[in-house]
Amino acid sequence: MNDIISKTVNIPARDAQDRTSIRYNGTDYSGVCRGAKSLMIEFLRECFENLADFDQFKFDEDQKCSKINILDKLTFNLDEVDKKPAIVVHRGGVQYGKIGRDQRLKETRLQNREIDELEGSTIKTGLLRGSLVIQCYGKGQTLQAELLGESVFELITDMEDALRQIGFFECYATGIGEEIPVKQGSKITYIMVPVSVQFSMQRTWSITPTNLRKIRNIVLDRLNANGTAMI
């Protein structure tokens, strides 16, 4: 797992500037909603590609060589489970927790800028909380789905520190659901086992009086141009 832990990432909230994109494995993920699902897919692919315990489900970027599909629900085709089992990541709702703080910028951060222009600048930090459901599919009458569900649950539980390294503020598995038969007609063709995950991600941005004045002036100009009463 050293390969994951050693990844160089830019985590939001580590910089005073507006940083909402997370960089992992050479890809930029803008925003929490897209980032959470994409990072989980990347994490699972790394694990199933590099950990010896998962040889029977070994992932390979070359789909012809891969023994498993790991993807999001928008690109998942159920019929593909005939050829190989699948792990499918779904994202639930994301709520802004309004948990954060304001911090006045120190003068050392105001180099080469007009002090009075940035006087009173603040850094705001907030946590966004959400959920993921990781659905593990295998052929009917086999233990593929059950084994995958347990493996995914254990990976997320045992490797919370690695998930924190790649951009999650917090990420943990809350449970494994029961086996759910997936029918085609009257025949049970596949079995699906869901794993529930809760996560939070941190977002940081800065606000300065200069930016606020610009925005206010733009709004006033547009209102006046439209004949709206002045504020």
Q: Taking residues 18-30, what's their average pLDDT?
A: 55
The overall average pLDDT reported for the chain is: 75
Q: How confident is the model at residue 7 (pLDDT cuts 50, 70, 90)?
A: very low
Q: How confident is the model at residue 74 (pLDDT cuts 50, 70, 90)?
A: confident
Residue 19: DSSP 8-state: B
Indicate whether 18 belongs to any domain: yes
Coil, strand or helix: which one is 167?
Answer: coil
The count of other CB atoms within 10 Å of the CB of residue 207 is: 14
What pLDDT is attached to residue 107? 37
Q: Taking residues 187-212, what's their average pLDDT?
A: 79
Q: Taking residues 53-74, what's their average pLDDT?
A: 88
Count up the domains in the chain and report the number.
1
How far is the C-alpha of 22 from the C-alpha of 40, rounded, in Å? 12
Indicate whether 124 belongs to any domain: yes
Query: Does position 114 have pLDDT exceeding 80, yes or no?
Result: no
Q: Which two tokens stand for residue 124?
A: 């705001």
Q: Taking residues 135-140, what's their average pLDDT?
A: 90
How far is the C-alpha of 211 from the C-alpha of 171, rounded, in Å? 34
How far is the C-alpha of 195 from the C-alpha of 203, rounded, in Å? 26
Q: Which residue has the higher pLDDT, 45 or 12?
A: 45
What pLDDT is attached to residue 11? 37
Query: Does position 157 have pLDDT exceeding 90, yes or no?
Result: yes
Indicate whether 230 belongs to any domain: no
Coil, strand or helix: which one is 185?
Answer: coil
Indicate whether 36 belongs to any domain: yes
Indicate whether 90 belongs to any domain: yes
Q: How confident is the model at residue 22 (pLDDT cuts 50, 70, 90)?
A: low
Taking the CA of residue 164 as centre, how many other CA atoms within 13 Å lie in the half-sphere pointing to its CB?
8
Model confidence over 85-105: pLDDT tens digits? Answer: 999 999 998 887 665 554 443
Q: Among 40-54, 90-104, 134-148, which is the least confidently predicted range?
A: 90-104
Indicate whether 120 belongs to any domain: yes
Q: Which two tokens stand for residue 40?
A: 């989980």
Q: Which two tokens stand for residue 161?
A: 């520190």
List, in sequence order, the alpha helices (H) in the chain.
Answer: 2-5, 32-50, 115-118, 144-158, 160-165, 209-225
Indicate whether 79 belongs to any domain: yes
Indicate whether 231 belongs to any domain: no
Q: Which domain holds residue 143?
A: 2-225
- Residue 84 maps to which CATH number? 3.30.70.1700
Q: Taking residues 144-148, what's their average pLDDT?
A: 93
Q: Which residue has the higher pLDDT, 178 or 16?
A: 178
How far is the C-alpha of 27 from the C-alpha of 21, rounded, in Å? 10
Query: Does position 166 have pLDDT exceeding 60, yes or no?
Result: yes
What pLDDT is attached to residue 98? 61
